[in-house]
């Protein structure tokens, strides 16, 4: 039994946004600047979005053993994601119940308990208060559950990806993921054993609202312009525009790639149909990086016919798989958006490694070394272009009187945006249909009165 505490969002918790006209602020073809700049709307999002729906927290491979932990956030809430001494994954509030200080100040580690640095209260990694210094100084019963750490009441994993929500009425995670779940399966199943291990991250922080990153996560319209220098660099020695995302350069909407909206704010950009389906088809797209010819020759020498399918495991899968509000699978990376304030956001790119399931022989280490080179590619030479755009949008939105941003590319053109029998929506790669759809979900969540709760050990 766990002690549930209802924290239903009240008008006061909405930070004064109860009177906002959400249907005015977000219309079918446009959004008002206030949703990116208003601190009260940001504060409401930290309850209605980050808390009110499933948000990505961590990957199970980051806490493989009992008592492993890492510190993360859900919106602004500091959390300790821990595999407790009984193997259960929990998301504990990283906040001492005594005076509120950050309980655990490490990024990660392994511990059965956490001792508060301030006055020494000690908590088991189940969240239960284990003891306090000089307990004879308290008349109160310190076994009262209210002194145990708060924790996220619903924590669920989908094939290693750990999500959490405070909303007791949210759908089970797998139903919430819905049609994006089999797309995540495909991303995983190309790897041996159908899994990856998460490794260290490239960490960026930009001066702009978190939604600017999610709005861009499926945007195929900007690539040829915003990433022009990256495309030129990638293709400098390739001759015929063969490398990286060169397929965006001419008439991207005439190609087989497309976007698909799968519901609940989630979407998918599938660029795989642009590729040649053959061993080495993905590897052939990789732009020049140091040492790759050496690795390729060595793989051919060691593995013969298998060399190119093994090298494909090092290539970046050409997909963007986005789970609203804070998670993307891009290439071989997991990207996570962390709001910091209404005008500041962390964008973190975790690398992933393949694991030898008995079929890779001694290739795994070399494949992973090459995957680290792809970690140096887009995150360093592409993400900076995107972040420059986000910061410049935030600056542009300070022009108070010019109130709207538009997202109507593709809207109103017959047969361009298609709704399918399974409820998913597809459109050409440069269409903004994905954004119009995820804003419907944003608006639904902002209007709702979410049934939020925290829990504590009894």
For the bound state, the minimum distance from the C-beta of residue 227 to ligand FES, rounded and expressed in Å, comes to: 47
The number of beta carbons lying within 10 Å of the beta carbon of residue 65 is 8
Segment contacting ligand FES by CB under 6 A, of 116-124, 338-346, 407-415, 434-442: 116-124
Segment contacting Fe ion by CB under 5 A, of 5-13, 84-92, 385-393, 411-419: 385-393
Q: Does 386 bind Fe ion (CB under 5 A)?
A: yes
Q: Which is nearer to ligand FES, 39 or 100 (CB)?
A: 100
Segment contacting ligand FES by CB under 6 A, of 119-127, 312-320, 360-368, 393-401: 119-127
| CA nearest to 393, candidates 25, 42, 33, 26 | 33
Segment contacting Fe ion by CB under 5 A, of 103-111, 241-249, 261-269, 379-387: 379-387
Single out the residue of 31, 44, 58, 96 in contact with ligand FES (rule: CB under 6 A). 96
Q: Does 119 bind ligand FES (CB under 6 A)?
A: yes
Mask: binding to Fe ion, 210-229, rule CB under 5 A, as x and -?
--------------------
The number of beta carbons lying within 10 Å of the beta carbon of residue 260 is 22
Query: What are residue 122's phi and psi, to 5 degrees?
Result: -125, 130
Asked if residues 199 and 352 have their Cβ atoms less than 8 Å apart, the reply is: yes
* Residue with the CB atom nearest Fe ion in the bound state: 386
- State how far the Cα of 268 lies from the Cα of 418, in Å rounded to an integer: 15
Asked if residues 234 and 394 have their Cβ atoms less than 8 Å apart, the reply is: no
Single out the residue of 4, 28, 110, 118 in contact with ligand FES (rule: CB under 6 A). 118
Q: Which is nearer to ligand FES, 121 or 283 (CB)?
A: 121
| CA nearest to 131, candidates 139, 118, 142 | 142
Single out the residue of 28, 64, 88, 99 in contact with ligand FES (rule: CB under 6 A). 99
The site partner of 386 among Fe ion, ligand FES, none (C-beta below 5 to 8 Å per kind) is Fe ion
The site partner of 93 among Fe ion, ligand FES, none (C-beta below 5 to 8 Å per kind) is none
**Which position has the token pair 């909303």?**
167
292-303 and 364-381 helices cross at what angle (nearest 10)?
Answer: 150
Residues constituting the chain: 458
Mask: binding to Fe ion, 60-89, rule CB under 5 A, as x and -?
------------------------------
| CA nearest to 361, candidates 311, 302, 280 | 302
For the bound state, the minimum distance from the C-beta of residue 325 to ligand FES, rounded and expressed in Å, comes to: 31
Q: Compute the half-sphere exposure of residue 445: CA atoms within 13 Å on the CB side of its CA.
A: 27
Q: Does 101 bind ligand FES (CB under 6 A)?
A: yes
Contacts of ligand FES in 273-302 (CB under 6 A): none
- State how far the Cα of 182 lies from the Cα of 184, in Å rounded to an integer: 5
The site partner of 101 among ligand FES, Fe ion, none (C-beta below 5 to 8 Å per kind) is ligand FES
DSSP classification of residue 322: E
Burial of 8 (0-12, 13-18, 19+ CB in 10 A): exposed
Q: Coil, strand, or helix at residue 383?
A: helix
Q: Which residues bind ligand FES (CB under 6 A)?
A: 96, 98-99, 101, 116, 118-121
């Amino acid at each position: 039994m766990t002690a549930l505490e209802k924290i239903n969002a009240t008008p006061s918790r909405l930070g004064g946004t109860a009177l906002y006209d959400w249907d005015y602020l977000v219309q079918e073809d446009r959004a008002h600047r206030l949703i990116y700049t208003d601190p009260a709307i940001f504060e409401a999002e930290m309850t209605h979005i980050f808390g009110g729906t499933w948000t990505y927290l961590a990957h199970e491979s980051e806490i493989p053993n009992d008592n492993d932990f890492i510190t993360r956030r859900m919106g602004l809430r500091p959390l300790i994601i821990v595999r407790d001494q009984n193997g259960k994954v929990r998301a504990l509030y990283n906040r001492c119940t005594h005076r509120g200080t950050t309980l655990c100040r490490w990024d990660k580690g392994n511990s059965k308990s956490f001792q508060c640095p301030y006055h020494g209260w000690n908590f088991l990694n189940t969240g239960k208060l284990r003891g306090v210094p000089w307990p004879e100084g308290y008349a109160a019963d310190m076994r009262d559950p209210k002194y145990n750490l708060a924790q996220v009441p619903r924590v669920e994993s989908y094939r290693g990806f750990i999500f959490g929500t405070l909303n007791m009425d949210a759908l089970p995670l797998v139903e919430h993921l819905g049609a994006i779940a089999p797309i995540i399966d495909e991303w995983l199943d190309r790897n041996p054993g159908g899994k990856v291990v998460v490794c260290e991250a490239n960490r960026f922080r930009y001066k702009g609202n978190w939604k600017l990153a999610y709005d861009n996560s499926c945007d195929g319209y900007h690539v040829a312009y915003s990433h022009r220098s990256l495309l030129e660099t990638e293709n400098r020695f390739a001759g015929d525009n063969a490398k990286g995302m060169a397929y965006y350069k001419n008439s991207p909407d005439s190609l087989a790639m497309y976007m698909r909206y799968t519901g609940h704010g989630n979407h998918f950009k599938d660029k795989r149909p642009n590729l040649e389906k053959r061993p080495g088809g993905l590897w052939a797209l990789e732009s020049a990086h140091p040492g790759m010819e050496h690795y390729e020759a060595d793989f051919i020498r060691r593995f013969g016919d298998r060399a190119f399918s093994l090298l494909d495991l090092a290539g970046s899968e050409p997909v963007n798989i986005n789970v609203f509000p804070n998670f993307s699978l891009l290439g071989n990376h997991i990207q996570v958006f962390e709001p910091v304030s209404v005008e500041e956001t962390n964008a973190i790119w975790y690398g992933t490694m393949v694991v030898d399931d008995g079929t890779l022989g001694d290739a795994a280490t070399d494949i992973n070394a090459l995957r680290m080179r792809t970690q140096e590619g887009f995150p360093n030479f592409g993400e900076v272009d995107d972040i420059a755009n986000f910061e410049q949008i935030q600056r542009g939105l300070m022009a108070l009187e010019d109130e709207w941003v538009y997202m109507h590319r593709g809207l109103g053109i017959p047969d361009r945006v298609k709704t399918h029998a399974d409820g998913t929506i597809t459109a050409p790669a440069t269409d903004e249909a994905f954004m119009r759809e995820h804003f419907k979900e944003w608006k639904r969540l902002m209007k709702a009165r979410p049934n939020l709760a925290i829990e504590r050990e009894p």
